[in-house]
Amino acid sequence: MSDVLAPLDVFQPPKPLRAKLITLGCQMNVYDSHILATELARIGYRETDQYDDADLVVVNTCAVREKPAEKLRSLLGLLNQQRKKRPMKIALAGCLMQLQGSEFQEKFHIDYVTGPGSITELPKLIQAGQGTSLEFIDSLADYVAPPQMSLAAHLTIIRGCDHACTYCIVPRTRGPQVSRPPEKILEEAYALRKAGVLEVTLLGQNVNAYGKDVPGYPSFAQVLRQIGKIFPRVRFLTNHPKDFTAEVIQAIAETPTVCRHLHLPVQSGSDQVLKDMNREYTAQQFIHAAQLARKALPGCSVTTDLIAGFPTETEEDFQATLALVDQVGFDASFTFIYSPRPGTPAGALPDLPQEVKTERLMRLIDQCKAWSLKRNQARVGQVLEVLVTDERKGDGTSQGYCRENIPVVVGEDLDPGIYQVQIGRAAPQLLFGAVLHDL
Ligand code: SAH
Ligand code: SF4
Ligand code: F3S
């Protein structure tokens, strides 16, 4: 081996490696993509927002419905076209890989594959030249992610899910529930605050279950109170109604920094369908919980997830869902058409005809939209605290969202930050207002 250095005139500084990250799926994946970016930076990759100069493209995938899987397939088709023109590595991470990693690896010639429990293994795979890692790495719960460069940040407090909703693939993709050690959560929270984060969203498939898997850990309500001391705004996502407790309502009521917004996914208003979904609550119990929250937390917005066209859902069951929507009057609703997931108990049942599912979804959307408009109209005239996160758009308007989690458009070019905004007009998913400047 020769140890001779290259002559100076031919010496080229190494070109920095560039990685383009694409995130499909929920906020848990957005948080995990931040960990992926951190790990890639450790081995010399800088993030780029373009495909053209990327040496590596990483897609963090989602398996919850068929749509994100279709999106991934078409994206990979395009990337493989690009790869014919110039060398580029592809890494796939996340939920869908936990189920179909090897299938995708073969079919689309993927270089590296990791699951949601092994994202920190990506550098090892890259250094090895290729490979797959789908174990659930214990140390992931201890991983303290460096601050996200944003006024609003995510903080995962619990990974996985111990529920067994019959339609849902998530427990198979993300494994059983693992609460992160409280001291790691606090360490990460203080670092975020120090970096200028104003709003933190505590994340988990079911944050209310926090601590139940480890004796001696605090309850979710206790975590909420602690984190509430650190940030001006705290929110949390998402909650299983069965685990939602009066203790949590109390913690929100007594911690002014915790936003008065509850995302309580109901899925259906029919007791039979709820039973078939294995949700472990009745429509009445849900309505009671929502009413309790609204009473204890004046102004609180209550939002939900709803599924139209579950295999056993009859027209009568669907009517019960519409009736529940009317009884609760959600501030915002995420409505989904049922998507059979192979390997789930419901996935083995005969699917309803597509046109029945679509027609129900349309009716559901109309009704939810009408309630969102009604709830938003009741906020006209109120002064709400709006967090503007985006850089100036330069078109004379700014967009942010209030504590109740409704997007708000302000007719003024604002720097990112928190503003008091008087609401002047409402649309179903949007409020419009003007900033109240200090006199
Ligand atoms: N852990 C969260 C849900 C995560 S998945 C919770 O229990 O609330 C987000 C939403 O996707 C669910 O609330 C549900 O409404 C929807 N969803 C999950 N599986 C689905 C499927 N197979 N078809 C259609 N929607 C689904
Ligand atoms: Fe899926 Fe149910 Fe767990 Fe939510 S609680 S992630 S819907 S199994
Ligand atoms: Fe989230 Fe999709 Fe996984 S919704 S938990 S990224 S299956």
Q: How far is the CA of 338 from the centre of ligand 1 (A)?
A: 9
* Ligand 3, CB cutoff 6 Å, lining residues: 25-26, 28-29, 62-64, 94-95, 170, 173-174
- Residue 394: its pLDDT value, please? 79
Q: How far is the CA of 24 from the centre of ligand 3 (A)?
A: 8
From-to residues of CATH 3.80.30.20 in the chain: 139-377
Q: Which residue, by CA, sits nearest to atom 2 of ligand 2?
A: 165
What is the Cα–Cα distance from 431 to 423, expressed in whole angstroms? Answer: 7
* Ligand 2, CB cutoff 6 Å, lining residues: 161, 163, 165, 168, 170-171, 205-206, 240
- CATH fold of 139-377 reads pyruvate-formate lyase- activating enzyme (3.80.30)
- Nearest listed ligand to the Cα of residue 25: 3
Mean pLDDT of 386-392: 86
Any bridge partners for residue 47, and if so which?
Answer: 19
Task: Please provide the average confidence, as pLDDT, over all residues in the chain.
Answer: 94
- Nearest listed ligand to the Cα of residue 165: 2
pLDDT above 90: percentage of residues in the chain: 89
Two tokens at 375?
A: 């709830």
Position 52 confidence tier, pLDDT thresholds 50, 70, 90: confident
pTM of the entire predicted model:
0.94
- Residue 297: its pLDDT value, please? 96
Q: Which residue, by CA, sits nearest to atom 5 of ligand 2?
A: 163
Residues contacting residue 143 through CB under 8 Å, at least 6 positions apart: 35, 120, 184
Contact 264, 241 (CB under 8 A): yes
pLDDT above 70: percentage of residues in the chain: 96
Q: Please check the confidence at residue 387 and state whether its pLDDT lies above 70.
A: yes
Read off the pLDDT of residues 152-180 as tens digits, 9 standing for 90 and up: 999 999 999 999 999 999 999 999 999 99
At the fourth CATH level, which superfamily is domain 17-135? Methylthiotransferase, N-terminal domain (3.40.50.12160)
Q: Please check the confidence at residue 137 and state whether its pLDDT lies above 50.
A: yes
Burial of 293 (0-12, 13-18, 19+ CB in 10 A): buried
- Residue 1: its pLDDT value, please? 43
Upstream peptide bond of 314 is cis (omega within 30 degrees of 0): no
- Nearest listed ligand to the Cα of residue 346: 1
Read off the pLDDT of residues 194-233 as tens digits, 9 standing for 90 and up: 999 999 999 999 999 999 999 999 999 999 999 999 999 9
Class of domain 383-438: mainly beta
Q: How far is the CA of 42 from the centre of ligand 2 (A)?
A: 33
Q: Which residue, by CA, sits nearest to atom 2 of ligand 3?
A: 62
Helix, coil or strand: residue 68: helix
Amino acid (1-letter code) at residue 1: M
| Closest C-alpha to 290, from 281, 279, 303, 273 | 303
Q: How far is the CA of 168 from the centre of ligand 1 (A)?
A: 6
* Ligand 1, CB cutoff 6 Å, lining residues: 64-65, 167-168, 170, 205-206, 238, 240, 265, 267, 305, 307, 336, 338-339, 341
- Residue 93: its pLDDT value, please? 98
What is the Cα–Cα distance from 26 to 44, expressed in whole angstroms? Answer: 27
Q: Which residue, by CA, sits nearest to atom 14 of ligand 1?
A: 305
Task: Among 30, 35, 62, name the best residue to mutate to test ligand 3's pocket (greatest count of ligand atoms within 8 A of Cβ).
Answer: 62
Residues contacting residue 348 through CB under 8 Å, at least 6 positions apart: none
- Nearest listed ligand to the Cα of residue 60: 3
Q: How far is the CA of 88 from the centre of ligand 3 (A)?
A: 26
What is the Cα–Cα distance from 346 to 268, expressed in whole angstroms? Answer: 15
Task: Using the atom order of ligand 1, give the atom closest to the CA of residue 165.
Answer: 7
Mean pLDDT of 258-268: 98
Q: Please check the confidence at residue 65 and state whether its pLDDT lies above 70.
A: yes
From-to residues of CATH 3.40.50.12160 in the chain: 17-135
Mean pLDDT of 283-303: 96
Q: How far is the CA of 154 from the centre of ligand 1 (A)?
A: 20
Q: How far is the CA of 29 from the centre of ligand 3 (A)?
A: 7
CA dihedral 317, 320, 322, 327 (to 10 degrees): -160
Mean pLDDT of 402-406: 97
What is the Cα–Cα distance from 385 to 414, expressed in whole angstroms? Answer: 14
Burial of 1 (0-12, 13-18, 19+ CB in 10 A): exposed
What is the Cα–Cα distance from 423 to 433, expressed in whole angstroms? Answer: 4
Q: How far is the CA of 64 from the centre of ligand 1 (A)?
A: 7
What is the Cα–Cα distance from 426 to 408, expressed in whole angstroms? Answer: 9
Q: Please check the confidence at residue 14 and state whether its pLDDT lies above 80.
A: no
Read off the pLDDT of residues 222-257 as tens digits, 9 standing for 90 and up: 999 999 999 999 999 999 999 999 999 999 999 999
- In 76-116, where do the E strands start and end? 89-94, 112-114
What is the Cα–Cα distance from 102 to 115, expressed in whole angstroms? Answer: 11
- Residue 11: its pLDDT value, please? 62
Task: Among 62, 70, 165, 168, name the best residue to mutate to test ligand 1's pocket (greatest count of ligand atoms within 8 A of Cβ).
Answer: 168
Lowest pLDDT segment from 5-9, 36-40, 425-429? 5-9
| Closest C-alpha to 214, from 171, 174, 185, 255 | 185
What is the Cα–Cα distance from 306 to 410, expressed in whole angstroms? Answer: 30
Q: How far is the CA of 202 from the centre of ligand 2 (A)?
A: 17
Contact 101, 135 (CB under 8 A): no
Q: How far is the CA of 339 from the centre of ligand 3 (A)?
A: 14
- Residue 2: its pLDDT value, please? 45
Q: How far is the CA of 254 from the centre of ligand 3 (A)?
A: 32
Q: Please check the confidence at residue 363 and state whether its pLDDT lies above 70.
A: yes
- Nearest listed ligand to the Cα of residue 278: 2
Q: Say if strands 178-179 and 199-203 run parallel, antiparallel, or are unpaired.
A: unpaired
